[in-house]
Structure formats: structure tokens, C-alpha cells
Amino acid sequence: MSKQVQDAYIVAATRLPIGKSGRGYFKNTRPDEMLVKVMQAALAQAPGLDPAAIEDAIIGCSFPEGEQGMNIARVAAVLAGLGHGVGGVTINRYCASGITAVQMAADRIRVGEADVMFAGGVESMSMIPMGGNKPSLSPLIFERDENIGIAYGMGLTAEKVAQQWKISREDQDAFSLQSHQRAIAAMQAGHFDAEMTPFEVIERTPNLADGSINTKTRTVKLDEGARPDTSLEGLAKLRPVFAAPKDPTGKATGMGSVTAGNSSQTSDGSGGLLIVSEAALKRFNLTPLARFVSFAIKGVPPEIMGIGPIEAIPAALKMAGLKASDMDWVELNEAFAAQSLAVLNDLDSKGFALDRSKVNPNGGAIALGHPLGATGAIRAASVIHNLRRTGGKYGMVTMCVGAGQGAAGIFERL
């Protein structure tokens, strides 16, 4: 394991339910409001902690503009009542923004620069669309063929992965069905309760008769993306949306297997963790939930960005001095079924086989949703609480990243 000054401990980890973008729970909820709720909920899990002791709040966000711009980390820290002395910085590593925020916060502690940090992520895909409000690609991208993948839509990268790693449409749909089935079973068993902070959604509609505003509130407690009626037959009827099976001449393209049904859902959500040093544990009489063990980030060709975890997972394991078989819980972000299966199959062939029963046991992003920059923090909370529920020792959060990266972070239950 790499050298460090001291360990970083997680003393609180929570998240909001994940809503469907555009039509779900949080379609009219500002992302800073979601983040404020997560910050306050995390603090409530560590009642002895003085908020003024927090050095900084590091928040991941994939498209930090519009309603989630203006350094949302600092804005939320102030609105959450952390105190004006607490810093705030918003970072962007696309889908790995949330787990990178956790890594950066843990590193500040591990090198002795801080004793208390907040790390998290937030994303409203209802308010800020994929690519942002004004996407603008550098013309330099198109001057060299090897860089053009930066401009690909994520769905096309999944098609490229499915083609290169020979992942069939049938296998993708079966993987997707399993994600929904596992998610529904986990909800019914209450497996999300420990990691979840309920959120009161306020809905306002105009009363056209008298000009007043009708207000309705409801408390949401579960992710809304999982579908109990999902079936292989239903998934098989969906058309590919990113590439055609045949070109205009009728020739097979070798692609056309990625559909809305075997892709992650666009979503809204937020998650956060409080991370402290051993000195802070003693000073504030806190109980550690887990220890941050290691993190790795690796680059891969942009056009096949989905295979990023193939490179990041072995690197994170090596840094931790652990084997793939040591992982008792793995949250492998299901950006697409094609890339998830390619990662698992490739790791099998290279001697880093992950126990499939321990990979996304509660379902993944295909069923639960993927609020981009928030997902890494959300899934970190999932790993920590499920390790505690099941008695497992080591868990991992891993994901592919747009423009060609892979990330992996490892936690140890305490």
C-alpha cells in the first residue's frame, strides 16, 4: 500500500433517493437544495462533530453550470449552516466526480493537511442536460482520428465496446433485467434504508380559478427508476438508439444492440460523506463506519471509455495490497450493460475475477439511475452501509468516465 501520514475514516455516509430526470421526484427541485439536505443529514449522523471543524467541502458535479453552477459546493455549505469558515470547491471528472471528491477529501486527511472534510456529489439532469446548456467542442479534436472519440456520445462508445468485446444484445438485456430484479428485491427487503435520507418534495401548481398557488408535499424514500414489470420480452422490443444494425446499403454494421432498456437512466440525486482523521475521532467522540483504503484513476481510448474499470480496478487493488477475491461488495456503475459485461468478462480473463453475486447485489444504474457527478458519492454510501449490513470487510466503487477514463476506490468496514 502507498505511504501516508494517517488514515482517513468515514463517520457519516448518506444519499437522497434518485429521481428520474425531467419527469420524476426532483424535476423542479434545485440541485443546491438537494445538496444542502445531504450535508445536513450527514452532520446529523455525527452529532458530536462541530461543523466549524470542517476544513473544506469538495463536491463532484459533471456539468457545473446553470442551477448547479456558481461553485455549488460553497453555496450549499453556507446554506446548510456549516459556517462561513468552511470552504467549498466544485470538481468535475464526469461520472467519477463524486468518488474523486471522496478521494480528494480523504487525501487531505491522509497527508495531514486536514482533520475533518465533507465530500459528495450532486447532479440535476432535469435542469442541466447531458453535455450542458451550451456544449462546445474544440476543433482540434477533429484534426487527429485518435481524438475523435472525445466527441462521441456515450451511447456510441457503448456500441463500440459491445462490438469489440462481443457482447450480445441478449446478454445485455439479461443483465438489465437482473439489475431491475435485484433493485426491487433490495427495496422490498429494506436494504436501502440505512444509506437513504428521505426528502420532502414540494410541488406547486397555479389555481387558475383564483390566481393562488396550490402547494402539495410528499416525502420520497426510494429510488424511482426500478421497474417490477421489466421482462426480457419487453426489453427485446426496444429499438437501438445510438447505432443502426445496418448501413444505408443494407450491410451489417456489427452494432445496434444498445437500447434505452440496457442503458443507465438519466437522473437527479445527491450523496455525501464526512471524512475525518483519528485525532478528530477522539476529539469529537465519533464512531468510524469505514476506512478509505485506496483509489486509482486510469485513462483509456475515448471511443471505448466504458472499459475504464478494466485498468483502474487492478491498480486500486495493487495499491491496497488486496486481491479481487477480497472484495465483499462491488458497486460497478452500470453506465451500459455492454460496458459492465465487457469489464467483468475482461477482468475474468486477466485473473481479476469479481464474484458476480457481489457485484451490484442491490441492482445498479440501469435500474436505480445515474445522476452523473453524484453517482460516485451515492455508491460510496451504498458500499459502506451494505458492508456493515452484511458483515463484509472490503468494498469497491468503480466506474467508467466520459472522454476515456476509469476510476476505482476501495473502502474497509470498521
Catalytic positions, please? 95, 370, 400
Burial of 126 (0-12, 13-18, 19+ CB in 10 A): buried
Angle, in degrees to the nearest 10, between helices 308-320 and 337-349: 50
Do 92 and 374 meet the contact criterion of CB atoms below 8 Å apart?
A: no
